[in-house]
Amino acid sequence: MSDPERELRVSKIRDGTVIDHITGGQALNVLAILGIDGDEGVGVSIGMNVPSDKLGTKDVVKVEDRELSQGEVDVLSLLAPEATVNIVREFEVVDKKRVERPARVVGLLTCPNHNCITNADEPVESAFGVVDDGVRCEFCGEIVREDIGDHLAVH
Amino acid sequence: MRHDHLLSAGQLTREDIEAVLDRAAELDADPGAVGDRYADTLLALCFFEPSTRTKMSFDTAMKRLGGDTVDMGTVESSSVKKGESLADTVRVIEGYADGIVLRHPSEGAAKLASQFVDVPVVNAGDGAGQHPSQTLLDLYTMRERAGLDDLTVGIMGDLKYGRTVHSLASALTNFDARMHFVSPESLRLPRGVQFDLHDAGARLREHTDLDEVLGELDVLYVTRIQRERFPDENEYQKVAGQYQIDAATLEAAKDDLTVMHPLPRVDEIAPDVDTTEYAAYFAQAHNGVPVRMALLDGLLDGNGAGDDAAGDGGAR
């Protein structure tokens, strides 16, 4: 007997990307950091706080008909360091991408320092260097360690 | 020193610092040593915040080098008042001058400016961020009075918003210095500055009471507790008195202690210290001119008639 609820959670996609083992509660931020807001017309499935042997709870995002680049995968590491990324073609996983922390992220985050020049009306993108346990504004030096998802510029 | 811009003290190596200080000493002894290399050189002074010492000493330094300055004037009298972006302002001024000295209330402003112009940008204070040219004159004064190695330096006051403190602490990591930071809990060093100091392997300790460390210090660098930063006047009153020094306070200090202050002071150093051997803060301010002469000599291409027989270089 199939469990309809479980089937809904894990149903396979034909083509696209499955991002698994996302830190619980971060799925929407992952979509934001990838610039996916639903307007693209691609199918997006989200599972939030589903049981996980490895993480306790996790989020899962499936994006149909879109394969993430390595660069996009890399920025995921800021929000979901444990994430696994599977590229799917014709229902088969054809590639598993490793999540690696990038050296810097540009234009993705806003600086929490309200007095930082990047928060003024100037023609520059924010730029953050990735440090051991967070990111650091390249303009004012502000360090963000917790709740990086709260500072997504794409929100 | 070979940098395109001076944006933060963190970009300065010990070699850079010593080169500027050595050159400053030469120019201090012989201000005419640069000849007329800067006769056609213009420096733009862009001060988006009030300034006396920094602005006037850059102005004086450029003129002592034989060049000249153009001054943006106050924000109220400039196009900034009309809503012009900093990026646009500096791009326009780049066409007038060979270098830009920028003071701005926002952290990171000088870095932003440097991304839009090809002429050298000197950060003359960006909000609570950095003030690296002040640091060079601080180090020049320190070297004259106490040397720069095997030093125990106390830095006291507003360490959170004090940009001179952030730059000085960063620069001191190039030397064999033990740093003691004295402040109220609410005005401790910011996380980013602490990160850099630890990353550089600095030897530092934090205190809330000067008495804990005064007797060990070779240099005491005092900054103003900025009353306007406190949301509650009562909170300010709780800490203000602890961070004032006078001649009696310094009886517990070493005889050869050097007391410094970037100025302006309000009440954190009593006037009775001024006439003691400890006081170095007015000499420190005066050192701004030779140090900024040396800094400009390193950043600007002196291409006036003295070096350029064709006479086609210089100011635009």
Domain boundary among A64, A80, A98: A98
Residues 6+ apart with CB under 8 A from B54: B47, B103, B124, B125, B131, B133, B134, B288
Does the annotation mark B23 as catalytic? no
**Domain check: are A32 and A76 in the same one?**
yes
**Domain check: are A92 and A109 in the same one?**
no
pTM reported for the whole predicted model: 0.87
**Domain check: are A89 and A17 in the same one?**
yes
Mean pLDDT of A87-104: 91
Residue reference for tokens 């980013």: B192
A120 has a chain B CB within 8 A of its CB: yes
**Domain check: are A112 and A73 in the same one?**
no
- From residue A54, give the alpha-carbon distance in Å to each of A18, A21, A23, A28, B165: 17, 8, 11, 21, 46
What is the pLDDT, as a whole number, of residue B235?
Answer: 79
CA distance A115 to chain B (A): 5
Burial B302-312 (b: 16+ CB within 10 A, else e): bbbeebbeeee
**φ and ψ at residue A84, rounded to 5 degrees:** -120, 145
Lowest mean pLDDT among A54-68, A91-105, B71-85, B302-316: B302-316
Give the number of other CB atoms < 10 A from CB of residue B26. 16
CATH number of the domain that residue A39 is part of: 3.30.70.140
Residue reference for tokens 């830095």: B155
What is the pLDDT, as a whole number, of residue B3?
Answer: 64
Interval A20-39: pLDDT, tens: 999 888 899 888 888 888 88
Smallest Cβ–Cβ distance between A139 and the set B87, B112, B196 belongs to B112
**Domain check: are A137 and A92 in the same one?**
no
A138 has a chain B CB within 8 A of its CB: yes
What is the pLDDT, as a whole number, of residue B316?
Answer: 32
**Domain check: are A147 and A110 in the same one?**
yes
Smallest Cβ–Cβ distance between A122 and the set B85, B105, B107 belongs to B85
Q: Which domain holds residue A79?
A: 4-98
Chain A: residue nearest B190 by CA? A142
Q: By the 8 A CB rule, do B258 and B85 touch?
A: no
Residue A115 and residue B191: Cβ atoms within 8 Å?
Answer: no
CA B38 to chain centre: 23
Contacts 24+ apart (CB under 8 A), B229-238: B229/B158, B229/B160, B229/B161, B229/B187, B230/B186, B235/B186, B238/B184
**Domain check: are A84 and A21 in the same one?**
yes
**Domain check: are A57 and A113 in the same one?**
no
Interval A45-57: pLDDT, tens: 999 999 888 778 9
Residue B108 and residue A137: Cβ atoms within 8 Å?
Answer: yes
What is the ipTM for the molecules in this complex?
0.90
The CA-based diameter of chain A, rounded to the nearest angstrom, is 60
**Domain check: are A121 and A90 in the same one?**
no
Mutation test of the interface with chain A: which of B75, B89, B103, B112, choosing the one with the most A Cβ atoms within 10 A? B112
- pLDDT category of residue A3 using cuts at 50, 70 and 90: low
